[in-house]
Structure 1
Amino acid sequence: MREDVQSLDIRDVTANWVNAAVLEAQIEERIKALADLSHTPLFFGRLDYLHVVGADQAEGAEGERFYIGRRHVHDADGDPMVVDWRAPVSQPFYRASKKDPHDVGLRRRFGYTAGELTAYEDEHLSDPTEAATTSKLLQAEIERPRVGPMRDIVATIQPEQDEIVRSGLGGTVCVQGGPGTGKTAVGLHRVAYLLYAHRERLARTGTLVIGPNASFLHYIEQVLPALGELEVKQATVESLVTSAAVEVRGTDPAGTAVVKGDARMAEVLRRAIRSHVTLPTEPVVVVRGSRRWRVPAYELEELVRQLLERDMRYGAAHEALPQRIAHAVLVRMEEAGEAPDDRVQDAVARTPAVKAAVKAMWPPVDPAKLVLRLLSDAEFLAAHAEGLLTPEEQGAILWAKPARSVRAAKWSAADAVLIDEAADLVARTHSLGHVVLDEAQDLSPMQYRAVGRRCSTGSATVLGDLAQGTTPWATASWADALRHLGKSDAVVEELTAGFRVPREVIAYASRLLPLISPGLAEVESVRESPGSLSVRRVVDPLALGAAVVAACVESLTHEGSTGLIAADARIPLLAGLLDAAGLPYLSPGEETTAEARLTLVPASLAKGLEYDYVVLDEPAAVVSGEPDERTGLRRLYVALTRAVSGLSVLHATPLPPALRA
């Protein structure tokens, strides 16, 4: 297929050089999409349909055999050799069971090692004498060592995951899933499915994946390309809202960030912007040739009040006001017997008198300057925060040293979100067709609003785990989060079957759930792995570092990746010990290889990452490194649940009470 595209001769098929350039770019993209991926097989399954026509069977599938793969493959005659996993005929590969075989007689799974076909496994779904068994190939795929970036799960998608992946484009889906339930993979595969099912629409409107940090985005960036999707953009919330005029160089104390991230700030900003509107006291006099046309102040005031009542975007109203004044002038011209047209109205709207009147009544507003004034001017803030923020909250967000200009200000990430909100009040933010928001539990209400603006006319996939909320402003419920996102009607799905974390490890970490998220269902791991959990106390605190390094050396004797997770404050100490021991290590986001398999991970960056083996240093330090105990325990819960094959916990300070037994 790739050679066919490469051999295309387009010299005589285009009308001009512009069309030729566009066509050449499209061909290059197609060649890129058809590139071979090392160690990635083209097919991973087979379906043999029965010679019956079922209600849930894909049209034309009766009696046919289909190979299922990551992308569509056809032969020289155009006949399909491999069917895309997203096609309707492929759905039974994920959904069929003994109870509901979807008219499939046989399902075959293929096993690969380093890209080579090494095994296959058959399920005779229509044979009542054959007992249902757990797929060993599926188990082996889940347990395959984690080296390199995140892999797709297209060969191992489970029925409950597939239902979410194939849900329609029209509605927003929120997925609550504990560690190892595959929620991130489900979100990415949902994007791939939607691009398959609604490609033309999403090609026009765009798609976006939003992650918590750059390390996380780097970790997941190869999943969609492996499925043939190359055009999906990635961003963090911070990069999404930071404009060219504002550089984030400062940080806020937790209390300040909480107030700035509160949804009440949206109303403060709206009031502050509307305060720039001034009702007129003087008429507008427009000179046209030898005639003078007068629009009295009371009529101008009525025009301004009408725009205020419509609650339009501030900038749109600023553009509409001169046209409305010009229309009032045209009415007077017509009453005087003239016959003005639209060109005359446009000319009147551009006259100095009308421009001056609009500038006085509805002046332009710069969003960054507005936020700068709110955070610098106590009287201005108090006037627009009255009844919304307490005096203490106003004091918390006021800058101790007001900045002289937008560029001189040390803007924080929370400030950038306020500017983004103000910018949307002035001019509508462009909306995309679909947005995936991962680790959503950590967003503030104002951040949710910022994301919601990017999908106001589209849909979203919201992924997260309330138990892993580690910011002071972490959401308490998905209902609140979805309301701030502007998607209150979203369907909330819960994934409770764990595939990544061994049962022993997730059970140990789940002891913290009653303290951090009461009422949240525990993850039930499908993988039992005796010996996967080790908890050891080092009596001498000075010997803890050496014991941690020794544990890393031990874990590296096994195949796969190792993550050394520690409180952020202990990272420099551990880095020095690793250097002294001659152990090379990576930073989060750097790709693990066969030669470099150890990553030193600050606890604050561990969320969303996974390693075959995890060595956790001093849990008490992870807890005490956060502003409050509950947030610290949530951070610890995240760190405890990053392991796929084994977890070693080493401590000198007593563990939190829930973990001591």
Structure 2
Amino acid sequence: MSEHIAFEEEQARLASSLQDIEEQLRGIGPKYTGDDFTEQVLDFQREERKQRLEVAFKEPYFGRIDFQEMFQDGVAIEDVTKPLYIGKAGVARSGNSNELLVIDWRAPAASLFYSFTGGDALAEYVSPDGDISGHVHLKRNFMIRQGELVRLVDSYVRGQEEDGVTDEFLLFRLGENKDNKLRDIVSTIQGEQDKIIRAERNKALFIQGVAGSGKTTVALHRLAFLLYQYEGRIRADRMIIFAPNRMFLDYISGVLPELGVGDIGQTTFGDWALELLDHSIQLSDPSETMMHWFEERRTEEEWENASGRWKGSIAFKEAIDGRISELQETILPTESFIPLPRFELKPEMMREWYETDYGDETIMVKRDRLASRIRRWLESELKQRGVVDKKIRAQALAKLNSFVKKMPSFSAVKLYVSLFRGKTALPGVPKAIAKSTADRLGSGMAAAEDLAPLTYIHLKLYGLSSAPFDHVVIDEAQDYSPFQLEVLRLCQRTVSMTILGDLQQGIHGYTGVHSWNELQGLFQEEDTGFFELNRSYRSTMEIIEFANYILGSMTGGVKPAVPVFRSGDSVIAEHVNNDDWLCSILQVAKEWQAKGEYDTISIIGRTERESYDIHQYLIANGMEASLVQSKQPTYGGGLTVVPVYLSKGLEFDAVLIADVGAEAYETMDAKLLYVGCTRALHKLKLFYRGERTPLLADWEG
């Protein structure tokens, strides 16, 4: 069939589908506003259906796969090849709920669209009824905009395979410009990504993904899949995404709504921890910590021995466990409670109540319940013995209050401070760390490194006030300490996590991990899974090859990024004089904007101060530019100036690294420069003042 005829046939099919969806939308009727509970439930179901239809009406489908199902012996079940149209939302044909107009991308049969890569061998997918196999005769991609068929690409036609055709639609989508929001990839999910999305739920799934491999987007699509696959068993409002900062949360905010998913919590570890602690403390400015480490030169030994790494270790957690065990023993009274003559409650009875009746409760909850139980015992005894004299009763209650006060009561902050101060301080803690921590907490402030221990203590003392999480997503997990992950593990009844990151982008060495084994070791081996995404879809071949060069032999057991075959401009490193440096940056920004080829442009500075100076110069010379800062909640696109350590997670059409001179980037800064370079999709240029960084000493370009 010629491409022209196929396009006309698909246009007609699209028009018919849109008409069907529109008729279904009109038939839903107005929203119910009455008080009848049954009608309210039905209205809720109608509203859900309406939302699915509205999603489908904007873009009914993006793919088609023609499939002929076979018996196990290779005989066709029917001499018919069925076209399956794949979209963001499943839609039944009007008047026939058993015939699907569009198959939801999360449905078992839709997995064929992502897993099939060509060839004559049988393709198969796993359905609720077992494995289904058959032949794929056609795999077709669509781009539909505003109800119009814009593009059609056949990535596979049985018997007519051509080399290189498979990636044509993917390359077209990758070549598009970026805006200020992350987009869904539902129409271009690749086979290795689909395996992660559809992986079983009850695992701590670790994803090592190179820059631009789509790991964040894959994790978001996995949430949508899990809600579909385990409908009725998990809830969106019991899922949570932990992102590195609020700006990143804003950047990814459009993906889940586009997939028809709402109510999933999205936060940072810091914000979540402060809320759990009922804001009993405040968080010191995280930018101070970042500037302290990134803008002042540190040796490898200083990074490795940072207090954040020590406070994030399991060894520190075990030391806290020891102190909590000691606390638990001091809660239980060792003497009888004798409020009045011949009234006695023995310690053995109180221990039985504490350990047996309240055994599953947390420490402070058990302590408070034991205190209430002792009070009820006294009231019962006074009543049974007919004690009505107010004075005698008051004496008994006074002794009760005095007795209960001897049972220690701690908040998380109070117990944590005791680990660093006075006779109760933990042995072996460096004096400087102990003093700074105690002083900071004494003034009502906590550093980011203190939040994992504080939340852990709170959970051990008081438990989780909300329902346990059904699923947890942790992005940029290489910057998490083992202690942070242990805290989140406590917030689930059954392990169900998606933990993603890139060790090569582990720039927060003062707190993060060097190997995934540091985090995987927190779980039983059978409760973990590991995937590696090495293919980078973000940047051109030239940019990826340059970024890999920067890392050199510094692999850390991680495979280098493999670019998609998408070629672009060469990467340029250009020397500029210090006096002309800001003017040169201005000229590049003007030139790139004038071309009109790039929607998002970034100037990446080495430090926050340097980025501020660049931004001020651009503004003074009539440029409209935004400056990314650590507390910034949103990213607006356009021309942006950002310090390199705040650029992680973002993407730009074109990037200029402001200075890669020897004074800006030393050998130990390889990961930092790698992060900056891999922000670029289509264009990357670097300036350097003085000598080049030793990271580029032998690079010819």
- Please show how residues 111-122 of structure 1 align to structure 2 within 5 Å: 111-112=143-144, 116-122=148-154
| Cross-structure match for 2:321 | 270
- Please show how residues 449-464 of structure 1 align to structure 2 within 5 Å: 449-464=486-501
1:289-311 CA distance string (max 9 Å, x none): xx9453445x3686599689979
2:444 pairs with 1:409:
yes
Instruction: State the secondary structure of the residue aligned to 2:233.
Output: helix
- The alignment covers a number of residue pairs equal to 620
What amino acid does structure 2 have at the position aligned with 1:7? Answer: G
Looking at structure 1, the residues matched to 592 and 448 of structure 2 have their Cα atoms a distance apart, in angstroms, of 38
Please say which of residues 635-644 and 239-248 is displaced more in the overlay.
Answer: 239-248
Looking at structure 2, the residues matched to 239 and 404 of structure 1 have their Cα atoms a distance apart, in angstroms, of 17
Change (3 A) 1:101 1:122: farther
Task: Select 1:220's aligned residue among 244, 252, 265.
Answer: 252
What amino acid does structure 1 have at the position aligned with 2:141? Answer: R
2:582 pairs with 1:560:
no
Change (3 A) 1:224 1:278: closer
- Structure 1: stretches of 5+ with no match in the other structure: 339-350
Instruction: State the secondary structure of the residue aligned to 1:91.
Output: helix
Task: Select 1:90's aligned residue among 110, 117, 129.
Answer: 110
| Cross-structure match for 1:572 | 612
Instruction: State the secondary structure of the residue aligned to 1:284.
Output: coil
Instruction: State the secondary structure of the residue aligned to 2:640.
Output: strand
Change (3 A) 1:321 1:358: farther
Instruction: State the secondary structure of the residue aligned to 1:431.
Output: coil
What amino acid does structure 2 have at the position aligned with 1:560? Answer: D
- Please show how residues 312-327 of structure 1 align to structure 2 within 5 Å: 313-319=362-368, 321=370
2:485 pairs with 1:448:
yes
| Cross-structure match for 1:491 | 529
1:110 deviation in Å?
A: 1.1
Contact 2:62–2:187 (8 Å) recurs in 1 = yes
Change (3 A) 1:29 1:91: closer
| Cross-structure match for 2:338 | 285
| Cross-structure match for 1:364 | 409
| Cross-structure match for 1:70 | 88
What amino acid does structure 2 have at the position aligned with 1:617? Answer: A
1:417 deviation in Å?
A: 2.7
1:654 deviation in Å?
A: 2.5
| Cross-structure match for 1:509 | 547
2:306 pairs with 1:249:
no
What amino acid does structure 1 have at the position aligned with 2:588? Answer: A
Looking at structure 2, the residues matched to 352 and 500 of structure 1 have their Cα atoms a distance apart, in angstroms, of 70
Task: Select 1:418's aligned residue among 424, 437, 453.
Answer: 453
2:182 pairs with 1:137:
no
1:639 deviation in Å?
A: 0.3
Contact 1:606–1:638 (8 Å) recurs in 2 = yes
1:57 deviation in Å?
A: 13
Looking at structure 2, the residues matched to 522 and 551 of structure 1 have their Cα atoms a distance apart, in angstroms, of 30
Change (3 A) 1:4 1:418: farther
1:432 deviation in Å?
A: 0.5
Contact 2:70–2:77 (8 Å) recurs in 1 = no
2:567 pairs with 1:547:
no
| Cross-structure match for 1:523 | 561
Please say which of residues 242-251 and 462-471 is displaced more in the overlay.
Answer: 242-251
Looking at structure 2, the residues matched to 484 and 559 of structure 1 have their Cα atoms a distance apart, in angstroms, of 44
Contact 1:623–1:635 (8 Å) recurs in 2 = no
| Cross-structure match for 2:622 | 582
Contact 1:205–1:431 (8 Å) recurs in 2 = no
Instruction: State the secondary structure of the residue aligned to 1:242.
Output: helix
Looking at structure 1, the residues matched to 147 and 642 of structure 2 have their Cα atoms a distance apart, in angstroms, of 30
1:432-467 CA distance string (max 9 Å, x none): 011111110011222222332333524000110101
- Structure 2: stretches of 5+ with no match in the other structure: 1-20, 124-134, 294-305, 385-395
Change (3 A) 1:62 1:317: farther
Looking at structure 1, the residues matched to 260 and 73 of structure 2 have their Cα atoms a distance apart, in angstroms, of 31
Change (3 A) 1:600 1:23: farther
Looking at structure 2, the residues matched to 293 and 55 of structure 1 have their Cα atoms a distance apart, in angstroms, of 84
Change (3 A) 1:516 1:322: same
1:591 deviation in Å?
A: 5.0
| Cross-structure match for 2:262 | 230
Contact 2:140–2:155 (8 Å) recurs in 1 = yes
Change (3 A) 1:62 1:602: farther
Looking at structure 1, the residues matched to 376 and 649 of structure 2 have their Cα atoms a distance apart, in angstroms, of 57
2:224 pairs with 1:184:
no
1:9 deviation in Å?
A: 6.0
1:84-118 CA distance string (max 9 Å, x none): 11111111111113234522211111134677422
Instruction: State the secondary structure of the residue aligned to 2:282.
Output: coil
Looking at structure 1, the residues matched to 233 and 75 of structure 2 have their Cα atoms a distance apart, in angstroms, of 27
Change (3 A) 1:74 1:479: same
1:207 deviation in Å?
A: 0.8
Instruction: State the secondary structure of the residue aligned to 1:612.
Output: strand
Change (3 A) 1:70 1:278: closer
Instruction: State the secondary structure of the residue aligned to 1:285.
Output: coil
Looking at structure 2, the residues matched to 58 and 498 of structure 1 have their Cα atoms a distance apart, in angstroms, of 39
Change (3 A) 1:486 1:562: farther
Change (3 A) 1:64 1:28: closer
1:642 deviation in Å?
A: 0.7
CA RMSD of aligned residues (A): 3.8
Looking at structure 2, the residues matched to 58 and 182 of structure 1 have their Cα atoms a distance apart, in angstroms, of 37
Task: Select 1:615's aligned residue among 656, 662, 667.
Answer: 656
Please say which of residues 519-528 and 248-257 is displaced more in the overlay.
Answer: 248-257
Instruction: State the secondary structure of the residue aligned to 1:81.
Output: strand
Contact 2:227–2:236 (8 Å) recurs in 1 = no
Instruction: State the secondary structure of the residue aligned to 2:527.
Output: coil
Change (3 A) 1:153 1:11: closer
Instruction: State the secondary structure of the residue aligned to 2:216.
Output: helix
Looking at structure 1, the residues matched to 562 and 264 of structure 2 have their Cα atoms a distance apart, in angstroms, of 32
| Cross-structure match for 2:681 | 644
Normalised to the residue count of structure 2, the TM-score between the two structures is 0.79
Looking at structure 2, the residues matched to 171 and 69 of structure 1 have their Cα atoms a distance apart, in angstroms, of 28
What amino acid does structure 2 have at the position aligned with 1:257? Answer: G
1:8-57 CA distance string (max 9 Å, x none): 46467x546xx77777677666655654599x623111111126346999
| Cross-structure match for 1:109 | 141
Instruction: State the secondary structure of the residue aligned to 2:261.
Output: coil
| Cross-structure match for 2:15 | none
Contact 1:172–1:487 (8 Å) recurs in 2 = no
Looking at structure 1, the residues matched to 32 and 213 of structure 2 have their Cα atoms a distance apart, in angstroms, of 48
1:138 deviation in Å?
A: 1.6
1:533-560 CA distance string (max 9 Å, x none): 121111x112111111211222222233
Contact 1:107–1:124 (8 Å) recurs in 2 = yes
What amino acid does structure 1 have at the position aligned with 2:691? Answer: P
Looking at structure 2, the residues matched to 284 and 520 of structure 1 have their Cα atoms a distance apart, in angstroms, of 62
| Cross-structure match for 1:380 | 424
What amino acid does structure 2 have at the position aligned with 1:256? Answer: S
| Cross-structure match for 1:476 | 514
1:73 deviation in Å?
A: 2.4
Contact 1:279–1:361 (8 Å) recurs in 2 = no
Change (3 A) 1:428 1:59: farther
Query: Percentage identity across aligned positions?
Result: 25
Contact 2:53–2:91 (8 Å) recurs in 1 = no
Looking at structure 1, the residues matched to 111 and 332 of structure 2 have their Cα atoms a distance apart, in angstroms, of 62
Normalised to the residue count of structure 1, the TM-score between the two structures is 0.83
Change (3 A) 1:92 1:142: same
2:76 pairs with 1:41:
no
1:532 deviation in Å?
A: 3.9
